[in-house]
Amino acid sequence: MWNKSFLIRCKGIWQNPSYRRFAIALGISFLLHLFLIGKFYFNVPELNQGHHLIEAQLVLDTPTISKPVLPTPMVVPVKSKPVKPIPVVEDVIKPVLSEAETPISSESQASVEQSPPVVTAETISQIKPSDAEPPPESIIEESVVKINPDAYQYVETEFDVRTDISASVNSSAPGKAKIVYELLPNREQYKIKSLMEAKGLAGLVIPDLLQTSDGFLINTGLQPKHYLYQFGNNKNKTFMADFDWEQKKLYLHGAKGDQTLDLVEENSNTTQDLLSFMYQFMFSPPLQTLKFSITNGKKLGLYEYSFEGEEVTPTKMGNLTTVHLLRNTNESDEKTELWLALNYQYVPVKIRKTEKDGKVYELLVTSLKTEKPATQAE
**In this predicted model, what pLDDT tens digit does every residue of 31-62 receive, in sequence order?**
777 666 655 444 444 444 444 444 544 444 44
Helix, strand or coil for residue 53?
Answer: helix
Q: Are residues 103 and 168 in the same domain?
A: no
Residue 375 lies in a domain: no
Q: Are residues 293 and 204 in the same domain?
A: yes
Name the domain boundary from 60, 86, 116: 116
Residue 127 lies in a domain: no
Residue 3 lies in a domain: no
Q: Are residues 337 and 232 in the same domain?
A: yes
Measured CA to CA, the distance from residue 166 to residue 220 in angstroms comes to: 38
- Tell me, what's the pLDDT at 188? 95
Residue 78 lies in a domain: yes
Q: Are residues 183 and 84 in the same domain?
A: no
Nearest to 176 by CA among 192, 157, 191, 193: 157
Q: Are residues 99 and 217 in the same domain?
A: no
Q: Are residues 203 and 95 in the same domain?
A: no
Name the domain boundary from 116, 145, 173: 116
Name the domain boundary from 116, 143, 178: 116
- Tell me, what's the pLDDT at 144? 52
Per-residue pLDDT of the chain (378 residues; tens, 9 = 90+): 555 666 677 677 667 777 777 778 887 887 777 666 655 444 444 444 444 444 544 444 444 444 444 444 444 444 444 444 454 444 444 444 444 444 444 444 444 444 444 444 444 344 443 444 444 444 444 445 568 889 999 999 999 999 999 999 999 999 999 999 999 999 999 999 999 999 988 888 899 999 999 999 999 899 999 999 999 999 999 999 999 999 999 999 999 999 999 997 765 568 999 999 999 999 988 875 588 899 999 999 999 999 999 999 999 999 999 999 999 877 677 899 999 999 999 999 999 999 988 899 999 999 999 999 887 655
Tell me the residue range of the domain where 164 lies: 154-369
| Count of structural domains, the chain | 2
Q: Are residues 158 and 275 in the same domain?
A: yes
Residue 126 lies in a domain: no
In whole angstroms, how far apart are CA 174 and each of 94, 171, 206? Answer: 88, 10, 11
- Tell me, what's the pLDDT at 306? 92
Contacts of 324 (CB under 8 A, 6+ apart): 307, 308, 309, 310, 311, 337, 338, 339
Q: Are residues 215 and 349 in the same domain?
A: yes
- Tell me, what's the pLDDT at 209? 96
Measured CA to CA, the distance from residue 141 to residue 225 in angstroms comes to: 25
Q: Are residues 210 and 356 in the same domain?
A: yes
**In this predicted model, what pLDDT tens digit does every residue of 15-26 receive, in sequence order?**
777 777 777 888
Q: Are residues 307 and 162 in the same domain?
A: yes
Q: Are residues 75 and 211 in the same domain?
A: no
Measured CA to CA, the distance from residue 296 to residue 273 in angstroms comes to: 6
pTM greater than 0.85: no
**CATH code, domain carrying 274:** 2.50.20
Residue 33 lies in a domain: no
Q: Are residues 95 and 186 in the same domain?
A: no
What are the φ and ψ backbone dihedral angles of 147, each rounded to 5 degrees? Answer: -125, 175
